[in-house]
Amino acid sequence: MTKLAVAVPSRGRPHNLKRLVEALENTCTGDYKVFARVDMDDPELNGYLKIKNAEIIVGDRLFFTKSLDELAQLALERGFTHIAILGDDVLPETIGWDVKMIQALNNKLGVVYGSDGLEHLHGQDLPTHVVVPIEMYKKLGWIGLPGSRHLFCDNAWRELGKLTQLIYLKDVKLTHLHRWNKKAPNDQTYEEANDKVKRELDKKAFETWRDGEGLEKARKALQ
């Protein structure tokens, strides 16, 4: 029996998380649970703690990538079979998207993703919001790109998909309400995530992983 952990790192946006949780209630048809990782120094912490139907994990500030690994470890320990990685600015729209994505993997390792509505900007082959078997995390020891703070995780997931299976479900709508497409106001979280200097550091982390020993280690781990 499949069990889906929905992992959502978030900061400064309890309203976004509440919207996402409500959308999940309206669209998920399988067994799932929401785990949101928030920071103890978040000025909006009290707002997060009021949200129902989500387990709020509070801790030191880890930023996006390490938060994903913390949530993946929790999902592994809790016996979940798959993990969905969603931003707090995602709005699932397709009924049964969770079951469709899990079934597409066909009980094999791989990366499956839907349409975020931004393919015209970043390309169709970039898996921005994904579902993967928890076995991927178990074999790799990570699900967020090693060395990255926030960005280029999706680039790494694309490479992992190439090693296993990379599945795009264009009819599964996981719409990204981002400042990029003017569907969200700019805020401090976006500013920090897309800081030019830190973006270059994350890009370098991806290139070092891809072009060095990291990708080959992943290949061997996923065989």
Q: What is the pLDDT of residues 204-222, one digit of tens each?
A: 999 999 999 999 999 999 9
Find the helix or strand (DSSP H, E) in which 136 lies: helix 134-140
For residue 219, how many other CB atoms are within 10 A of its CB?
14
Q: How far apart are CA 110 and CA 163, in angstroms?
A: 8
Q: What is the reported pLDDT for 167?
A: 98
Q: What is the reported pLDDT for 195?
A: 76
For the chain, give the mean pLDDT: 94
pLDDT above 90 for 190: no
Comparing 164 with 186, the larger pLDDT belongs to 164
pTM: 0.94
Which token pair is 176? 């990204």
- Distance from the first to the final alpha carbon of the chain: 24
pLDDT above 60 for 184: no
Q: What is the pLDDT of residues 83-133, one digit of tens each?
A: 999 999 999 999 999 999 999 999 999 999 999 999 988 899 999 999 999
Which token pair is 5? 């952990």
Q: What is the pLDDT of residues 106-117, one digit of tens each?
A: 999 999 999 999
Q: Region 63-80: what's the mean pLDDT?
A: 97
SS3 content of the chain, % helix, strand, coil (to 5): 45, 20, 35
Q: How far apart are CA 10 and CA 183, in angstroms?
A: 18
